[in-house]
C-alpha cells in the first residue's frame, strides 16, 4: 500500500488523525524516535520529520519506537516485539541472549527470531549490533579515545569493531571521528523549481545537494554531516566551479536541461557507495524497484538495505535515488519529500517523451 501524499501526512500529524494510523509512520530526526500520526507527543518542527511506510522501514533507518503512541497497539504481538526492541536499545552494551529475549516476549527462541525479523527486517542480534554501532558513532564524536568508545558501546574487542565499523561507516573509526576535520567545504544556496537548494563541495567534488524551504535548515544539515569541517559561503570569484555547477543543476531541475556530469565526493559505507554508483547508470526517464537494484548489484536479498542507502543519499538529483520505487510502483520514500520526487519523475517523463 502506498503512503498518502506528503501534504496529507503533514495534516494528519498536525491534527493527530488516528484514521491514518498504520498507513504511515513519521520519524523525528532530533529525537531519533518514530511515531504514529495520532501520537500525543509535542509536535516536531516540520523540517525535522521523515516519513516511512512501515515500522520496519523506520527501524531500518535508525529510528526507535515512540514510548507514547506504540505502547498499546492493537496487534499484541507487535507490541511485544516493540518492547523487545526497546529492551535491546536500553541494554545494547550488555550480552543479550536470544533465549532471554524470547522469555521476555513470551515466545520460543525460534519463533522470536522469525517474527522479529518479519516485523522489523532484521534479527534481534543484528538490531543490537546496529544500536551498538549508533552508540559507537556518537561516542567517536565525543571526547575520549577510540578504544574507550569501542568498549563503552558494548563491543567485546577492538578487532571486532574495526571489522564492523569499516562495513558500516565505509572508513576507519579514526577517519569517521574527524567529521571533516581539516577540510574546507564551500557551499551556496539557490532557488530552483524544487524549492531552495544547497550545494556544497570539497576539493574532490560535490559532497552535498539537499532541498528545503529554509536556508537555516539546509546549513544545519550540512553542519550535521560535516561537523568539524570549515564551512565557507561561496563567492563566485573564490569558487567559480561551484557557481557553475549550481547553475548547471538548476537548469536541469528548472528547465529540463540534461543532468550535469559533475565530480562527486561520495562518502558512505562500501555497500552504500556501490548502490549510489549503480544509480548513476539509470537512464533519465527510467525507474527501477528496490528489489531490481539489489539484483543488479549482485545482492538480491538486500532490497531493504538498498532502500536505506537511497534514504542516506546526501547528494540529491546528481545521484538519482528518485528513480527507485517500491515493487508495486508506488513512490516509496524520499529524503526531501514525495512531492519533490514525483515532480522529478514527471519532468523526466515529459522530457523523455519529446
How do residues 41-78 score in pLDDT, each as one tens digit?
Answer: 888 888 888 888 877 677 766 677 787 776 444 456 66
- At which of 135, 150, 178 does a domain end? 178
- At which of 70, 92, 108 does a domain end? 70
Q: Of the candidates 341, 325, 248, which has an alpha carbon nearest to the alpha carbon of residue 291?
A: 325
- At which of 39, 70, 101 does a domain end? 70
Evaluate whether 4 touches 12 at the Cβ level (below 8 Å).
yes
Evaluate whether 92 touches 112 at the Cβ level (below 8 Å).
no
Residues 46 and 129 in one domain: no
- Is residue 66 among the annotated active site residues? no
Residues 95 and 109 in one domain: yes
- Among candidate residues 39, 69, 310, 321, the one labeled active-site is 321
Residue 115 and residue 107: Cα distance in Å, rounded?
10
3-state SS, residue 109 = helix
Residue 181 and residue 178: Cα distance in Å, rounded?
5
Q: In terms of residue numbers, what domain contains 63? A: 1-70
Tell me the pLDDT band of 157, cut-offs 50, 70 and 90.
very low
Tell me the pLDDT band of 124, cut-offs 50, 70 and 90.
confident
pLDDT at 255: 83
- Among candidate residues 35, 39, 69, 207, the one labeled active-site is 35
Evaluate whether 277 touches 335 at the Cβ level (below 8 Å).
no
Per-residue pLDDT, averaged over 167-182, amounts to 52
The CATH number of the domain holding residue 141 is 1.10.10.60
Residues 63 and 96 in one domain: no
Which residue would you say has higher pLDDT here, 53 or 24?
Answer: 24
pLDDT digits (tens, 9 = 90+) for 215-234: 998 999 998 888 888 888 88
Residues 11 and 100 in one domain: no
- Is residue 207 among the annotated active site residues? no
3-state SS, residue 91 = coil
Residue 259 has pLDDT above 60, yes or no: yes
pLDDT at 75: 52
Amino acid at each position: 500500500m502506498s503512503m498518502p501524499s506528503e501534504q496529507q501526512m503533514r495534516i494528519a500529524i498536525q491534527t493527530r488523525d488516528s484514521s491514518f494510523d498504520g498507513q504511515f509512520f513519521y520519524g523525528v530526526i532530533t529525537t531519533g524516535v518514530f511515531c504514529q500520526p495520532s501520537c500525543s507527543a509535542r509536535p516536531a518542527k516540520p523540517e525535522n520529520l521523515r516519513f516511512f511506510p512501515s515500522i520496519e522501514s523506520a527501524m531500518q533507518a535508525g529510528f526507535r519506537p515512540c514510548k507514547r503512541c506504540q505502547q498499546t497497539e492493537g496487534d499484541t504481538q507487535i507490541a511485544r516485539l516493540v518492547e523487545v526492541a526497546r529492551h535491546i536499545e536500553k541494554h545494547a552494551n550488555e550480552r543479550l541472549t536470544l533465549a532471554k529475549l524470547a522469555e521476555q516476549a513470551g515466545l520460543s527462541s525460534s519463533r522470536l527470531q522469525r517474527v522479529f525479523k518479519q516485523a522489523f527486517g532484521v534479527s534481534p542480534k543484528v538490531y543490537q549490533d546496529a544500536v551498538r554501532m549508533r552508540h559507537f558513532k556518537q561516542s567517536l564524536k565525543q571526547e575520549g579515545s577510540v578504544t574507550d568508545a569501542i568498549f563503552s558501546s558494548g563491543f567485546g574487542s577492538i578487532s571486532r569493531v574495526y571489522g564492523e565499523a569499516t562495513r558500516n561507516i565505509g572508513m576507519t573509526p579514526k577517519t569517521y571521528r574527524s567529521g571533516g576535520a581539516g577540510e574546507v567545504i564551500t557551499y551556496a544556496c539557490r532557488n530552483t523549481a524544487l524549492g531552495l537548494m544547497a550545494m556544497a563541495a570539497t576539493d574532490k567534488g560535490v559532497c552535498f545537494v539537499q532541498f528545503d524551504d529554509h536556508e537555516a535548515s539546509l546549513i544545519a544539515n550540512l553542519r550535521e554531516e560535516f561537523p568539524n569541517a570549515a564551512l565557507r559561503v561561496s563567492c563566485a570569484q573564490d569558487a567559480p566551479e561551484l557557481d557553475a555547477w549550481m547553475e548547471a543543476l538548476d537548469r536541469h531541475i528548472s528547465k529540463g536541461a540534461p543532468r550535469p556530469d559533475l565530480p562527486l565526493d561520495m562518502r558512505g559505507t562500501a555497500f552504500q557507495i556501490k548502490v549510489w554508483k549503480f544509480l548513476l547508470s539509470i537512464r533519465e526517464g527510467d525507474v527501477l524497484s528496490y528489489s531490481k537494484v539489489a539484483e543488479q548489484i549482485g545482492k538480491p536479498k538486500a532490497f531493504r538495505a538498498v532502500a536505506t542507502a537511497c534514504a542516506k543519499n546526501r547528494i540529491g538529483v546528481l545521484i538519482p535515488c528518485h528513480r527507485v520505487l517500491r515493487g508495486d510502483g508506488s513512490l516509496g520514500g524520499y529524503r526531501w519529500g514525495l512531492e519533490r520526487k514525483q515532480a522529478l519523475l514527471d519532468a523526466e517523463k515529459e522530457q523523455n517523451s519529446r
